[in-house]
C-alpha cells in the first residue's frame, strides 16, 4: 500500500510543525494528465484562433482591394462622363451662338479623383450626385437648344420659301426662248417717233409665249395698237405685258406659274410683222425688260429682304 502512494512534506520556514500528507500515485498521474490535456488544448485553441485571425485579415485585405478596384472603375467612368458633359456643353454654346440665342452659364463639374486623396465613400456619392445634377441641367439645356434650333430652322425655311416665292414672282426669263431683241427700250423714229416702253422680241408667227414670272392674269383683251395683249399682275408691284399676240390661252383671274404658256406670237394691233412686244411695269412705271430676260437683276435681288 505504501508503494502506491507519494508522501509530501511541508516544512515551514521557521521550523514550526511539519505537515505531511500522502497522495496516491493514480491520483497524481490523473492530475498530471489533466494538466497536460489543458495545456495541449490551450495550445491548439491558440493556434486555431491565430489561423482564423490570419484568414480574416486576408479576407479584409481582399475586400479592400475589390473596393479599391470598384472606386477606380467609378473614377474612370465619372471622368469620362465629365469630359462628355463638357463636350455637350460646348456644343450647346456653339449652337446658341450660331442661332443668336443667349448662352446660360453651364454647370461646371471639376475634375476630382478620390483615389489619390482617399476621402470616404460619402465624398464619392456627393461627387457622383453633383455630376448627375449637372448632367440633368445639360440635358435640359440640350432639349431647349434643339427646340430653339428647330424653330430657327423652320423660320429660315419659311423665309427661304417666302424669298423663293418672291423671286418666282419677279420677271426673270425670256418669254419666247432665246429671241433676239429687235426693238429697244428707247426713243425711236420708226415706225413712230416716240419712246418705246418695252422691247420687241423677234419670233415666228404662232411661237409659244410663256409667263416670265408667277402671277395672276389681270387682263386679256384687244388693246388698240397693242393688239391682243395679256397683262399679268405679279403681286409685288410688277406687271408684265405681252402684246401683238395671235391668240391668248389664259383667262382673267387665272393663276399662272413661271414658264407657263399664256399665248402665241402674232402681229395684231400696230405691228409691222410677227414679234412679241414685251413690257415690264413696276409701280405703274415702265422699266427696261432687257436685264430681266436672263434672271433677276442683281440690284433687284439685293433689295429683297
* All structural domains of the chain with their residue ranges: 2-73, 84-168, 181-302
Cβ within 8 Å of residue 180, ≥6 positions away: 201, 202
Nearest alpha-carbon partner for 108 in 140, 139, 138: 138
* Predicted TM-score of the model (pTM): 0.55
Report the alpha-carbon distance of residue 182 to residue 287 in Å, rounded: 17
Report pLDDT for 151.
Answer: 74
Please tell us whether the domain made up of 181-302 is placed in CATH 2.70.70.10.
yes
Nearest alpha-carbon partner for 241 in 229, 255, 228, 258: 229
Report the alpha-carbon distance of residue 74 to residue 205 in Å, rounded: 86
What is the b/e burial string over 247-257, where b = at least 16 CB atoms within 10 angstroms of the residue's CB?
Answer: ebebeeeeebe
- Over residues 34-81, the pLDDT tens digits come to 777 887 787 888 788 878 878 887 777 777 777 777 777 776 777 777
Report pLDDT for 101.
Answer: 67
Report the alpha-carbon distance of residue 169 to residue 212 in Å, rounded: 9
For the cut 80, the answer to whether the pLDDT of residue 21 exceeds it is no
Report the alpha-carbon distance of residue 79 to residue 48 in Å, rounded: 46
Report pLDDT for 16.
Answer: 66
Cβ within 8 Å of residue 161, ≥6 positions away: none
Angstrom CA distances, 1 to 4, 5, 23, 302, stand at 5, 7, 12, 142
Task: With both helix axes pointing from N to C terminus, report the angle between 121-168 and 25-99 in degrees, rounded to the nearest 10.
Answer: 20
Task: Please compute the mean of the pLDDT values over residues 151-168 and round it to a whole number.
Answer: 79
Range name among 140-144, 183-187, 215-219, 289-293 with the lowest pLDDT average: 140-144
Nearest alpha-carbon partner for 109 in 74, 137, 71: 137
pLDDT confidence band for 274 (50 / 70 / 90): very high
Task: Please compute the mean of the pLDDT values over residues 280-298 and round it to a whole number.
Answer: 95
Cα angle for residues 146, 149, 153 (degrees, 5° grid): 135
DSSP run (H or E) holding 195: strand 194-195
Report the alpha-carbon distance of residue 265 to residue 192 in Å, rounded: 22
Yes or no: say if 209 and 227 are a contact pair by the CB < 8 Å rule: no
Yes or no: say if 213 and 169 are a contact pair by the CB < 8 Å rule: yes
Report pLDDT for 106.
Answer: 56
Report the alpha-carbon distance of residue 2 to residue 153 in Å, rounded: 122
Amino acid at each position: 500500500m505504501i508503494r502506491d502512494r507519494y508522501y509530501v512534506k511541508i516544512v515551514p520556514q521557521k521550523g514550526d510543525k511539519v505537515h505531511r500528507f500522502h497522495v496516491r500515485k493514480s491520483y497524481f498521474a490523473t492530475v498530471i494528465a489533466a494538466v497536460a490535456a489543458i495545456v495541449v488544448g490551450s495550445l491548439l485553441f491558440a493556434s486555431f484562433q491565430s489561423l482564423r485571425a490570419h484568414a480574416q485579415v486576408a479576407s479584409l485585405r481582399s475586400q479592400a482591394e475589390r473596393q479599391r478596384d470598384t472606386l477606380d472603375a467609378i473614377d474612370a467612368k465619372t471622368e469620362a462622363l465629365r469630359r462628355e458633359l463638357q463636350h455637350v456643353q460646348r456644343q450647346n454654346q456653339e449652337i446658341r451662338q450660331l442661332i443668336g440665342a443667349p448662352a446660360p452659364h453651364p454647370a461646371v463639374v471639376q475634375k476630382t479623383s478620390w483615389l489619390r486623396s482617399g476621402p470616404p465613400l460619402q465624398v464619392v456619392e456627393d461627387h457622383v450626385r453633383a455630376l448627375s445634377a449637372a448632367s440633368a441641367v445639360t440635358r435640359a439645356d440640350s432639349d431647349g437648344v434643339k427646340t430653339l434650333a428647330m424653330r430657327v430652322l423652320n423660320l429660315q425655311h419659311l423665309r427661304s420659301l417666302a424669298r423663293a416665292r418672291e423671286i418666282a414672282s419677279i420677271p426673270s426669263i425670256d418669254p419666247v426662248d432665246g429671241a433676239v431683241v429687235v426693238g429697244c427700250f428707247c426713243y425711236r423714229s420708226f415706225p413712230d417717233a416716240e419712246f418705246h416702253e418695252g422691247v420687241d422680241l423677234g419670233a415666228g408667227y404662232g411661237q409659244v409665249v410663256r409667263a416670265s414670272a408667277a402671277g395672276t392674269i389681270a387682263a386679256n383683251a384687244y388693246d388698240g395698237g397693242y393688239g391682243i395683249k395679256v397683262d399679268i399682275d405679279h403681286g409685288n408691284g410688277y406687271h408684265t405685258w405681252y402684246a401683238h399676240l395671235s391668240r391668248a390661252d389664259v383667262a382673267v383671274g387665272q393663276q399662272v406659274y413661271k414658264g407657263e404658256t399664256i399665248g402665241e406670237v402674232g402681229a395684231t394691233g400696230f405691228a409691222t410683222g410677227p414679234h412679241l412686244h414685251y413690257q415690264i411695269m413696276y409701280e405703274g412705271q415702265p422699266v427696261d425688260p432687257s436685264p430681266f430676260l436672263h434672271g433677276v437683276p442683281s440690284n433687284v435681288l439685293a433689295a429683297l429682304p
